A and B are shown apart, each in its own frame.
Chain A
């Protein structure tokens, strides 16, 4: 069974440029998460989807960050414009339903903003 797939693995951009990250969750997983992981820190939730609905986006900085999950499968996280402080690893995770508590993570997308 394929795991959670994220792309790109690495991205280097200049500040004020836009960037987008893509996530393909495990087949059949209805719940999808985007987490932010700063260097030396644990992951912090940005947004959670149940199918195509964003049910928890309270931690998403909506002035520059946006996300979508069309058709309740793949998801895209966008930053526009990027700032130096956005340099981090962006993690996508999925789970069959919120009951299990076990999240399956992708390898992450490492963003460097210069």
Chain B
């Protein structure tokens, strides 16, 4: 079945450092891909998404490009802030088009001043 694999955390960076969180997926078709973020004490919220190959999703300085050839959707940000400290989840929408999201295990990001 469809699945998502993320790099293990925690990832610890200094403020203004470059961030990459790797995400790869396995799917029989061409799923839509998402990054969700969970800030401390809050619910998950959508960060960005891409619906087809070569699409780039972006929001709040974060970007991710849908790479069909490598089945990847890596999250990047050029300069992280302390306020970016959170848990980041990569997800795909199952190719059966039921709306079901399949999540990776999450990657914790800690940004230090």
Contact = CB atoms under 8 A, between A and B. Distances in A.
A59 to B, nearest CB: 10
A9 to B, nearest CB: 10
Chain A CB within 10 Å, residue with most, of B36, B51, B91, B100: B100
A56 B43 contact: no
A101 B32 CA distance: 8
B79 interface: no
Contacts of B99: 31, 48, 95, 97-99, 101
A100 B44 CA distance: 16
A91 B43 contact: yes
Contacts of B34: 101-102
Q: Size range of the interface on B?
A: 20 to 34
A44 B45 CA distance: 16
A42 B98 contact: no
A77 interface: no
Interface of A: 3-4, 31, 33, 40-45, 48, 55-56, 91, 93, 95, 97-99, 101-108
16 contacts: A33-B100, A41-B106, A42-B4, A42-B105, A43-B44, A45-B100, A48-B98, A55-B98, A56-B100, A97-B99, A98-B97, A99-B99, A101-B99, A102-B46, A103-B101, A105-B43
